[in-house]
Amino acid sequence: MDKLVEFIARNLVEKPDQVRVRQRRYRERTVLHLRVAKEDTGRVIGKQGRVANAMRAVLHAAAQAQRRPDVELKIQ
């Protein structure tokens, strides 16, 4: 899951080398923390959170495909 977010985020930003994803697993869910260069924040959030929500939809589908607990994405 972290690799998936990292891949997408790196391909959306101007500074791919500053993309960091940290994954935390809990019993019922996995939480991913995505961090990008400050000026790239907008690129991974999007207007009205559109990009972030698209990534969430993809993560949700991936979790289903892998029969894994649902994934939460936080952007900081």
Partner 1 sequence: MSVQPYEFTAPTVDEAIALGLQELGLQPEDVEVQVVRKGSRGLLGIGRTDAIVRLIPRHSPAPTSEEVAKPAEPEVSSAPSEQEAPEGPASDLSASQEELPAPGPAQAAPLSAEATPSPPPPLPSPQEIGQLARDLLTEMVDLMGIRARVELHFLDPDQGTEPVIRLNVVGDDLGMLIGRHGQTLASVQYLVRLMVNQRIHRWIPLIVDVNDYREERAERLQRLALRLAEQVVSSGRGVALEPMPAADRRQIHLALRDHPQVYTQSVGEGDRRKVQILPK
Q: Which is closer to partner 1, CB of 27 or CB of 47?
A: 47
Q: The tokens 């900081």 sit on which residue?
A: 76
Letters for 22-51 (x = contact with partner 1 by CB under 8 A, - = none) are x----------x-x-xxxxxxx-xxxxxxx
Q: How many residues bind partner 1 (CB under 8 A)?
A: 47
Looking from the CA of 12 toward its CB, the CA atoms found within 13 Å total 23
Q: What share of the chain is helix, strand, coil (3-state, %, to 5)?
A: 50, 25, 25
Minimum Å gap between C-beta 24 and partner 1 is: 9
4 binds partner 1 (CB under 8 A): yes
